[in-house]
Structure 1
Amino acid sequence: MIVAWNIGVRPDASLVNTMLDNAVRTLQPNEYPVIHSDRGAYYRWPGWIQRTDNAKLVRSMSKKGCSPDNAACEGFFGRSKTELIYPRNWQNVTLWDLMEQIDSRP
């Protein structure tokens, strides 16, 4: 289940940390879910690990070259592209317009 997301122009620590902080705020007392990520540097960074440890989250990281580990996320992104991106003509649409469209989706 997706409980928080961020969108930005580059993947950086601020982007992933803000997303994690927003997700942690949705948790109920004594709720400690698994958080799954790819092997990106920001998910191996000590600051990320400390944040997940402080929230008592269980970290799960995909194995290198094992796409089934990310099947749920890849399915979500595939469905999103099918419903939002592919049916529209995005010529003359700025990156900021695209991000606003994505962020405003329920």
Structure 2
Amino acid sequence: MATVMDLFSRKIIGWSLDTNMTEQLITRAMQMAIDARGVSPGLIVHSDRGSQYRSNAYVGFLERHNITRSMSRKGNCWDNAVMESFYARLKVELIYAKNYQSIDAARSGIFGYIEVFYNRKRRHSANDG
């Protein structure tokens, strides 16, 4: 799973799910975010140091959209703590409670979690929630 979060609102504005973590997966999530919000001047996208985020294809995608890339320091999970927290909540509030039998069932459940609950109802302490 790949996600793009707006750090101000804490909303997930792009996401994609597949059986493997690939450059295409993260590009689909980023394209969803671009389609939803556009690209503001000075936009910075932060990620961990996974090989997908360092691939020539993904770096080229960001460059074509005038997006600046930022990556976590090696071995420092605190640099990406907001996303680590999101994934922890997703696991506790959804994944561990369900036994999905297919990728399509998981995609449907995650869609509901993100689009119906997380982005609209879940309170976020960063936003006085």
Tell me which protein shows more strand as a share of its residues: 2
Q: Is 2:64 the partner of 1:54?
A: yes
Q: CA RMSD in A?
A: 1.8
Any stretches of 5+ residues in structure 1 without a counterpart? Answer: none
Which moves more between the two structures, 63-72 or 29-38?
A: 29-38
The answer as to whether partners of 1:32 and 1:55 remain within 8 angstroms in 2 is: no
Aligned residue pairs total 103
Letter in 2 for 1:95: S
SS in 2 for 1:11: coil
Any stretches of 5+ residues in structure 2 without a counterpart? Answer: 1-5, 7-11, 116-129
Aligned to 1:71: 81
> Structure 1 segments of 4 or more deviating over 6 A?
none
Following superposition, the deviation at residue 84 of structure 1 comes to 1.1
Identity of aligned residues (%): 28
Following superposition, the deviation at residue 28 of structure 1 comes to 3.9
What is the TM-score of this pair, normalised by structure 1?
Answer: 0.83
The answer as to whether partners of 1:7 and 1:103 remain within 8 angstroms in 2 is: no
What is the TM-score of this pair, normalised by structure 2?
Answer: 0.70
Q: From the CA coordinates, give the structure whose radius of gyration is larger.
A: 1
